[in-house]
Structure 1
């Protein structure tokens, strides 16, 4: 897999390629391969780690964990420009008078804010944070589920959530995820959150995936479904060729936001 062009910085793109090829690589090896000082490597690793592209270790860098997601507080302050542009496009795409499922995540929170310009929406969400953004809008009916409220991301999970979701049919599901593999498998990090998204997928007419470019190059451990089932993808960069092939074969709408 090529990582050229991922960051726009050729040295950092090469650093990512070396980390992915080796699993773990020391600062000294990276400095020798890239022809820079270890101080420069440390700065690059710090920046790439904050973007969720590599995992920062003492003395080097490794692949991003497929088991643990980047901390929510970091994710909500990274790729703001990209998430804002994606959110604006999705808000323009959603018709007034729609019923929406909205899941958990920093990207969907940007979308929730952008939806405030719409009228007569019914929103069913398992995100306390999304509900908090939208509930004061008199044009909306905001429905939250009952279950276990998670401290780290404001998500609500549990068996009662899935039973509740099964009572609805939504015009649109708006969700993000942890990663997409080259062969089109949708992945995320938490099995409990994935169970809720699967229920929403099963009860939605149109399925919208909102992802920034990093999701094409990272990994996660829990299988959510297949890209072939998605109706539309909103992102900030064209996907890799392998994913583009799946998009074309399945006639998935692709919307690339202008930054």
Structure 2
């Protein structure tokens, strides 16, 4: 009954706001199990060429260590080994990898955040917490109907969404992300509109006035945004200022705004605010948000999946 009530709510919202181009008759299916009190796990995206499960776990742990460093700046090897239930040597290997990626550096008995590393390179972030991002992408893909016009931003989860859109046909896709454009171009008779401009190699995307001017000409039925952090008091945050300003400009143009964020983004701090909770229609994640964040989302009448 709860699922059906949410489905009806989304249908009513779609009727209240117009859908772009030839999407007038489209009504996105709400994914199975979506609701404000429960989060349904999507099946694992098990495709050839994906990272092995062991490698996934290692990258997830390294991502969690990096998140802890952002909060505490310094962590000891002993504390990390106890927290993740692994050996000291395993943690040392993780630290060496983080150091090689320029995110942290070793100190006696521990690790310290490298202050100049505001955010890891795109390809590193894309594969961090990959299982969680794949699960989120599978849920998000269920909202997309054939023939829809959708916007996909440049966040690390966006790539996995483009991979998950394997069955939808005749989509019109607006994006500023190089990998999303490459993945979707020519697939299933889809049309890709790339927001060009200067390519930021660190983010593998385009930003700036030319990108904003081009992408703001479209009125997508669904806009998919991924974020760097979500805070129950401050809203949805980014580390990269141009990325945040692009989200803020494009958000009002979409009939529905869908935010994608894995659980490592919960109650973290970013540099700049991108969106308010009231700007978001649907929030898709991999596990139930903590109580304070859940309350903030509910107060803003955001559907949670």
Q: TM-score range by the shorter chain?
A: 0.7 to 0.9
* Alignment correspondent of 2:145: 95
- 2:128 pairs with 1:108: no
Distance in 2 (CA, whole Å) between partners of 1:126 and 1:19 is 30
Deviations 1:134-169 (A, max 9, x none): 011242111112210122232011211111222111
Deviations 1:203-231 (A, max 9, x none): 11111111111111433212112123211
TM-score by length of 1: 0.79
Which residue, out of 100, 106, 115, partners 1:58?
A: 106
Matches within 5 A, 1:35-46: 39=89, 41-43=91-93
- 2:259 pairs with 1:209: yes
Distance in 1 (CA, whole Å) between partners of 2:84 and 2:184 is 47
Deviations 1:114-148 (A, max 9, x none): 11311221111111211110011242111112210
TM-align CA RMSD: 3.4
Matches within 5 A, 1:208-247: 208-247=258-297
Which residue, out of 235, 243, 255, partners 1:185?
A: 235
Deviations 1:181-201 (A, max 9, x none): 131421112112222222211
TM-score by length of 2: 0.68
Deviations 1:68-93 (A, max 9, x none): 11222222222221111111111112
* Alignment correspondent of 1:141: 191
Which residue, out of 205, 208, 218, partners 1:168?
A: 218
* Alignment correspondent of 1:3: none
Deviations 1:21-56 (A, max 9, x none): 754244467789999975465356568x59x9xx63
Quickly say closer, same or farther: Cα 1:67–1:217, change in 2 above 3 A: farther
* Alignment correspondent of 1:68: 118
- 2:184 pairs with 1:127: no
Structure 2 stretches lacking a partner, 5+ long: 1-56
Quickly say closer, same or farther: Cα 1:249–1:70, change in 2 above 3 A: same
Q: Which has the higher contact order (CA 8 A, sep 6+)?
A: 2
Distance in 2 (CA, whole Å) between partners of 1:101 and 1:161 is 13
Deviates more, 1:24-33 or 1:139-148: 24-33
Quickly say closer, same or farther: Cα 1:247–1:38, change in 2 above 3 A: same
